Structure 1
Amino acid sequence: MTTFRSLIPSANALVIFEAAGRHENFTRAAEELGMSQVAVSYAIRGLEQQLGTQLFERQHRAAKLTEVGERFHADVSAGLSRIGRAAEEIRMKGREVNVTLAASTAFASMWMLPRLSALRDDLPDIDLRIQTSVRDLDLDEEDIPLGVRGGNPEDWPHYYSAELAPEIVTAVASPAFVEANGLPDSPEAIARHRLIWLEEPVRQACSWPEWFASAGIDYRPTGRRLAINDYVLVIQAVLAGQGISLGWRHLVERLIDQGQLVEVGGHALRTGQAFHVVWPRSRELSAAATRVRDWLLSQT
């Protein structure tokens, strides 16, 4: 069986042949490839001898492809072009920098997604990957460089942290709900309306009784209530006019600015806690992850 190695003296001979055929001039091919005209001529002659046919008609200051040479040159050019594109794709893929950010679904969808276009503009060479979970992931165990979590830094002694946003909890409703039911202008007025409850399965989250207590009201729920274990769905229910929910300001501020939500009740609970960007103390933060961390903090 005839092999490629037995047919072609070297892959370099094909590169030289492609350049010589494109220019139809050994001297210009040599200039392009950074070699001597004699070396180009020698490589072409070796290729012709290996294939057992003439590929060029040598002329004064020119080298015209023969009919066989033209067909072979078309195939060689196409092959080298495909190889070049594949090599470039691999090279560019190797240059991509991936950074993973662990966060809640609520943070990912309500805080991060609206800012992704800005991140791509500011950090075009970084491929950000967001990993969501119902619990705060162990960044060391999962080999994730960055995370976002709420609470107090002393609760995470194995992480460095930087504050992203203070925890401020208000009450929010949709404009349609307000139009249909009137604007609740106090916590007491809110208590008379339909309330939507967030029941986090793992993370600790402020509840309606805590929020009312911060306003000096002993709130005791009556009747049936709508309880949802995902904050994104809570806000979707509010947008659909199903009632009033608690609004974590760093998550809902854009919806408020856009007029999709309205703050009601005239009261905001400042818990004294905050949401932080965290990263492990066990390993050095990469340059790319450092840039993502700094970009996140710059958004506040």
Structure 2
Amino acid sequence: MQSYRKLLPSASALFVFEAAGRHENFTRAAAELGMTQAAVSYAVRTLEAQLGVPLFNRSHRAVELTEAGARFHADVSAGLARIQKSAEAMRVKGRETNVTLSASTAFASMWMLPRIPKLREDLPDIDLRIQTSVRDLDLEEEGIPLGIRGGDPSGWPEYHAALLAKEVVTAVASPAFIDQNGLPQSPSELARLRLIHLDEPVREACDWKEWFQSAGVSYQPHSRPLAINDYVLVIQAALAGQGVALGWQHLLESQLSSGALLPVTSHTYHTGGAFYVVWPRSRELSMPAQRVRDWLLAQGG
């Protein structure tokens, strides 16, 4: 197949023809393009020679597009308009400094907010906007470039997905609760303590039954368990000494490292799942969004 360069007229000739055809006046086209009238006339004649057809009917003081010239002008104008629109969109995208990240409230408050000072230090020119929701948003429909999702990427064929953190769940409680109730010697003993349940409204999440099953323990909840539908509040209840909570390790790094929360057994459940940074396959990420994505992945290790 021949290259476009051999098949198509030069870009400059097309620009001249578009202006000349729009004005149907070589002098006005020359003034718009910053050329002489003679240069416009020469460019049009050269284009006609390349195409093998006349594009203008010429009279003493006027020019008019021929039938073939009018058809060609419509195509050239449409093509140049699309190129202009695409170029402008890329220029706008290159100037954008706002990046929106969709995430759960738990991820936003427990993973992201502690890292905001680091983000500002590393990416001082980017304004990150975090949009939280009880469900995973449709990033394409919402016009959001980046999101955090837990689960299996094979279920999201419309997204690229990059691993942020594996899903590792342990049982945690405050030092005050442990002082009052002691450390259980096994997961089965833990089942007799006061447990805080996450009643997740939309997203699927590991629960106590699944966690105990991973430890080889059959678990039946108490008749009146403490159940909360917001994971941030679950952890606030655990910090307040109200019971033992399931702790997703990637969310509780600061609480575990500071000793505000402590593991209550040696059993840790590796679910086989993970959390990912996702972005739509349907559109290219802006440069700022790419930088935020890469920063998130670096933070996740």
Q: TM-score, normalised by structure 1?
A: 0.68
Q: Deviations over 1:271-298 (max 9, x none)?
A: 1110000000000011000000000000
Aligned to 2:224: 224
Contact 2:163 2:277 in 1 (8 A): yes
1:186 aligns with 2:192: no
- 1:84-103 alignment to 2 at 5 Å? 97-103=97-103
Tell which deviates more after alignment, 221-230 or 288-297: 221-230
Question: Is the 1:170–1:249 contact (alpha carbons within 8 Å) kept by the matching residues of 2?
Answer: yes
How far apart are the structure 2 equivalents of 1:185 and 1:100?
45
The question of whether the paired residues in 2 share the 8 Å contact of 1:186 and 1:264 is answered with no
Report if the CA contact (8 A) 1:176-1:241 is conserved: yes
Q: 1:96 offset after TM fit, Å? A: 6.2
Q: Deviations over 1:215-242 (max 9, x none)?
A: 1111111231100000000000000000
For structure 2, the residue ranges without an aligned partner over 5 or more in a row are 1-93
Describe the shift of the 1:256–1:245 C-alpha distance in structure 2 as closer, same or farther (beyond 3 A).
same
Aligned to 1:115: 115
Q: Per-residue CA shift, 1:137-181, capped at 9, x if unaligned?
A: 000000000000100110100000000000011100001100111
- Secondary structure (helix, strand or coil) at the match of 1:113 reads helix
* Rounded Cα–Cα distance in structure 1 between residues aligned with 2:223 and 2:111: 33
Contact persistence 2:96–2:288 (CA under 8 A):
no
Query: Could you tell me which residue of structure 2 aligns to residue 297 of structure 1?
Result: 297
Alignment of 1:146 onto 2:146: yes
The Cα shift of 1:185 comes to 3.5
Q: Kindly indicate whether the alpha-carbon contact (under 8 Å) linking 1:134 and 1:203 is maintained by their aligned counterparts in 2.
A: yes
The residue type equivalent to 2:293 in the other structure is: R
Q: Is the 1:238–1:245 contact (alpha carbons within 8 Å) kept by the matching residues of 2?
A: yes
* Separation of aligned partners in 2, 1:217 and 1:296: 36
Alignment of 1:1-300 (within 5 A): 97-300=97-300
Deviations 1:59-110 (A, max 9, x none): xxxxxxxxxxxxxxxxxxxxxxxxxxxxxxxxxxx96610000000000000
| Structure 1: runs of 5+ lacking an equivalent | 1-93
Structure-2 separation of matches of 1:222 and 1:111 = 31
Q: Secondary structure of 2:184's partner?
A: coil
Q: Tell me, what secondary structure is at the counterpart of 1:167?
A: strand
The answer to whether the 8 A contact 1:185-1:266 is kept is no
Distance, in Å, in 2 between the alignment partners of 1:274 and 1:159 is 15
Q: Is the 8 A contact 1:175 1:261 kept in 2?
A: yes
Q: Classify 1:159/1:228 alpha carbon distance in 2 versus 1 (closer, same or farther; 3 Å).
A: same
Query: RMSD in angstroms over aligned alpha carbons?
Result: 1.2
Find runs of 4+ consecutive structure 1 residues off by over 2 angstroms: none
**Stretch moving more, 265-274 or 236-245:** 265-274
Looking at structure 2, the residues matched to 185 and 165 of structure 1 have their Cα atoms a distance apart, in angstroms, of 29
Larger radius of gyration between Structure 1 and Structure 2: 1
* Residues 96 and 125, structure 1, Cα contact 8 Å, conserved in 2: no
